[in-house]
Structure 1
């Protein structure tokens, strides 16, 4: 019965080993493969030991088991740390220390006939259930057991920590894995205590149960597949183009979006070196090779952003780089629209007060640094309240829109702002000369001569304008605003529809 049970367990373990090799492509696959292979060797060796009749044959198959037994706990730890994404905390030195005892155990067991450090005695004992190899435990056996217990305890600690912070579904999966870990631990305890048949290897008998629990976890909660499939799906089906480059900027992998993007640039990604791929596009080559965020534009006027994510080893040293190339054209358009909304007055389509004042401050500083002239025009629509009261806000809005368009036509390169209501301002990088005054006066006359129609009825409007020039006496933006405002007020007092400087 025991042989049949172990035969089934070996087949199941080998099947699972093949399953992992064929269907898993994740980081800890290699560890899990060796873990399953180790279990297969262990169970096969113990099955053959039970099936043997002669002592020498039993001892031989026991030695075969110890090719794998010492390494199983450490391999289980590697699977767990990799799966729980804690492998970065297990550096090369720690791994060597963890493997030191298993390596010594395998060597000591294979040479046990010379020193008896692992087994002090080996003999066949008969029980009602059958004949078993009875093994007297030597000092190194207990060192091996202590090492296995410590490693198992470490795995248990990692799973419990993950269990405490996990999602409900993850906790169900982790509970199965915790039970799978405790089962062989219980078998080890039974061996040490000599319960029932002292010569029986209870760990070998219960390990298939652990494997079944792990298989249930895989099929029920996608223990091995879900993260891998998610990452693969993001890479293959994500909206962004992705490249994987090695440290020499050779292209290791790319997705379909990358193929499509580079086809627009007449570049075939089947080459290996980024330098060779982008021979005719040196600037793009530099941007892709760079590790900072870069942008570039394709011939069809699409804007792309290149971001770099390092793929680090457990020592945080980069092994390769993932280049994520995202189409940010719509985002850029949205940002421009938001900037426009933050700067532009909706009704007049001129700069709003806040942004105009920022430009005024900057223009003033620049004119001071370069010793250049600067003029501020303050403009106000005459009797605008009467226009609103007579024609309603629709008529008032029509006047503001026309006034704004006329300002742009007469001062095409000047910053123009609507400061609020019917008040406007214009900045001119000029000296206050007769020519400048005449330009402003021409604008006033042009607006006065405009006839607007609202609901088929004519509207006439005029404007008063105050001009301030930057001088030693008017030596700050605030002083210029105050002076221009005084000139505007004077124009109003003197009958409106005029320019005062």
Structure 2
């Protein structure tokens, strides 16, 4: 009886530990993952409490009753243990229906057969009772389904062990402690299952019930010391459901192991179901999005929904534990309005408000890039420098508002004269520039003449009186590698000076240096 008292006390403390673990896990989060771990704890409790009461029962009726209580938990312990392993490693939802069938059909059938065993004896071939050390004990003769359930349980334990070992060896940091605990937990469970059949000590004890608490202790240690459940728990309690941003929790192998409702809704718009949690398979049709999720740095990615472009910022927050980084929280935030506002501000900073063309800053920055591109790709580059003739007289005679209208009119002429993609800018008060790529000399000269003639014919009206204004143009061509934009501008400026010397309202192509000492 002393042995029974010791075993009962042992079971009592293990039940308390299991209940405490359930409460601890529940307080951290209420995800499917945590709920499964809680169900595992409850299954263990039913098993241990039922067996402890069976040991302390003094009648056949009580023994049979508590044995049935045990089987509310017994068939499901290894099944839930495997489910937790599959969820932890990210394999569960990939083939959810198949896993559910493979894992839970045998436990459910076992539960039914145990409660109806008196009618078919498929689970227990026979039940008898003996007195051992002054206590009544039940002797169970296994039936055919008992062996099926035992093999199934052993397979569940071994598969779980394999999953945890594989996941642990895939981690970057040293995971020997976690490997040892998980291996030990699975070893004790498997040992208890084997000993229950062979009964090496000759006593009618349930060795599985004796070994299972040790398994629970090791699992609890793994949870508390090696962040077995805490990564997801801390992440969810802090940020998962606190905002409208899409949030993904990724483990160290970059598998998505959890996500919030906003993430589910966002990716559904892209026909992405997060039930398949392998990132390459999920996002193979969206490579930019996949790169953003795998990149530890913050990135902006563009996603198109029904023809509309939306911009999302993908940021990363590491989840650090005692053994290093345990996982990553990926936040996908819609920044479309902010992005567009910033782009508008950039455009405004690079745009001349009056003419609608680029300003001098834009011309110099973009022009230098275009010159470098021409070095790599080849192709002709021409620069046109243009100056409105006697523009100061317009301001003096008609006022600055009229001068503004002249600038606007010339801007419209330039926009219509050159193919889109060429760089056109107002670089001074009445001075304009156009950097043209991929055009021949004759074509550039023809375009310049078109601009000159269009401006010459353009009617400006002041108090019902028409007047015209002309433009002088200088053209320079990039002739050799390494030629800079600044050098090309000086060459085009010299050609422009020659146009003014020739009486204005003409086009001059740069042919060599000229004396600029008399330039006004």
For normalisation by structure 2, the TM-score amounts to 0.56
Q: 1:352 aligns with which of 367, 392, 410?
A: 367
CA contact (8 A) 1:217 1:223 kept: yes
Q: 1:145 aligns with which of 122, 143, 150?
A: 150
Matched, 1:229 2:234: yes
Q: Secondary structure at the match of 1:79?
A: helix
- Partner in structure 2 of residue 32 of structure 1: 37
For normalisation by structure 1, the TM-score amounts to 0.58
Give the Cα–Cα distance (whole angstroms) in 1 for the partners of residues 58 and 138 of structure 2: 10
Matched, 1:324 2:333: yes
Higher mean C-alpha displacement, 116-125 vs 240-249? 240-249
- Partner in structure 2 of residue 105 of structure 1: 110
Q: CA deviation at 1:173?
A: 2.1
CA contact (8 A) 1:345 1:351 kept: no
Q: 1:408 aligns with which of 399, 417, 428?
A: 428
CA contact (8 A) 1:293 1:305 kept: no
Decide whether aligned partners of structure 1 residues 227 and 441 sit closer, same or farther in structure 2, where only a CA change above 3 A counts.
closer
- Partner in structure 2 of residue 264 of structure 1: none
CA contact (8 A) 2:360 2:428 kept: no
Paired residues, number: 359
Q: CA deviation at 1:9?
A: 2.2
Q: How well do the aligned residues superpose, as a CA RMSD in angstroms?
A: 5.0
The CA deviation string for residues 218-258 of structure 1, in whole angstroms up to 9 with x for no partner, is 22123222223134434478996989459899xxxxxxxxx
* 1:206-355 alignment, distance < 5 Å: 206-235=211-240, 244-245=261-262, 290=305, 294-295=309-310, 305=312, 324-326=333-335, 327-328=338-339, 332=343, 349=364, 352=367, 355=370
Q: Secondary structure at the match of 1:222?
A: coil
Higher mean C-alpha displacement, 128-137 vs 110-119? 128-137
CA contact (8 A) 1:13 1:39 kept: yes
- Partner in structure 1 of residue 54 of structure 2: 49
Q: CA deviation at 1:17?
A: 2.4
Q: CA deviation at 1:204?
A: 0.4
Decide whether aligned partners of structure 1 residues 352 and 53 sit closer, same or farther in structure 2, where only a CA change above 3 A counts.
same
Higher mean C-alpha displacement, 141-150 vs 226-235? 226-235
Decide whether aligned partners of structure 1 residues 351 and 225 sit closer, same or farther in structure 2, where only a CA change above 3 A counts.
closer
Give the Cα–Cα distance (whole angstroms) in 2 for the partners of residues 335 and 294 of structure 1: 19
Give the Cα–Cα distance (whole angstroms) in 1 for the partners of residues 20 and 428 of structure 2: 80
- Partner in structure 1 of residue 471 of structure 2: 439
Give the Cα–Cα distance (whole angstroms) in 2 for the partners of residues 434 and 121 of structure 1: 108
Q: CA deviation at 1:76?
A: 1.0
Matched, 1:116 2:121: yes
Decide whether aligned partners of structure 1 residues 64 and 288 sit closer, same or farther in structure 2, where only a CA change above 3 A counts.
same
Structure 1 alignment gaps of length 5 or more: 250-286, 296-303, 308-321, 360-374, 380-404, 418-424, 443-461, 470-483
- Partner in structure 2 of residue 179 of structure 1: 184
